[in-house]
Amino acid sequence: MRSPNGKKLTALCYGAACHGIFMLAGLIMFGSIITGFSYSVGKMSGYWAVFFNFILLIQFPVGHSFFLTSSGMRTLDYFSPKAHARVLRTTIYATIASVQLLLLFILWSPSHVVIWKFGFPANIFFILLNLLSWMLLSVSSIQAGYQVQTGSLGWTSLYRNIEPVFPKMPDSGLFKLIRQPIYLSFCLVLWTSPFMTLDLFIVALFYTLYCFFGPYLKEKRFSNFYGLKFEKYKSNVPYFFPKISRLIINDKASD
């Protein structure tokens, strides 16, 4: 039998790794977007650059989707002690997602082809837009259940020696306006850089398509899990873009 102190130490180690990598990935991603991948360390050129950049581009959505399947979840179990595997799944999932983003934004081989580059004061405007997009991404992630989004649900449950309790179906805050505010916010983060290079353009375009079409699979899982509650929510709330009439109604309701 494992001691309570040993279980807590395991939880703290996984938590520190998860949140440390999560924060590092966020900082690297912010810097890469603002500078248009200018400082990525990938050194490939020509067809090799195209090939390896393509691998970096697809590994995140492929892994992100795979690890949500039954086979993917069983794969996650290999990254933790067998006794704690099921409890730590959300922590490991978030850690791997952060590592995938780090690989993309650090190892990308930049072309240095500039599409647009705004100088002062226009660049300040775009930086503020980018920060606002990050804020929307943070708020929507919190409203969706920050414990799952950040991976804290797994390690805190292990530390407290309880079963993970997943948050309720998100339907408040930004989720009143659209069903996918996290994905829309992520797209805005990618497109609001003052320094748009060909590299960032390709990444932004690819992930915008993924963010728009990928959640359809997520919604199938939600439909199976939440049933009629999600179907009713789905029929009342737009998928990706808010309706102007809904914004006006919500604004009046808040007065």
* C-alpha span between 41 and 109 (Å, rounded): 7
104's tokens: 């993309």
Residue of 161, 152, 162 whose CA lies nearest to 5: 161
Parts of the chain with a pLDDT under 70: 1-3, 244-255
Q: What is the pLDDT of residue 218?
A: 84
- Residues 6 or more apart whose CB falls under 8 angstroms from that of 221 comprise 68
Q: What is the pLDDT of residue 222?
A: 87
> How many domains in the chain?
1
* C-alpha span between 27 and 98 (Å, rounded): 11
Residue at token pair 């390709």: 202
Q: What is the pLDDT of residue 188?
A: 96
Q: What is the pLDDT of residue 2?
A: 57
195's tokens: 């320094």
* C-alpha span between 172 and 147 (Å, rounded): 16
Q: What is the pLDDT of residue 248?
A: 53
**99-108: burial string, b at 16+ Cβ within 10 Å, e else:** bbbbebbbbb
Q: What is the pLDDT of residue 221?
A: 85
Range of the domain at 131: 4-254
Q: What is the pLDDT of residue 246?
A: 55
pTM: 0.87
Q: What is the pLDDT of residue 1?
A: 44
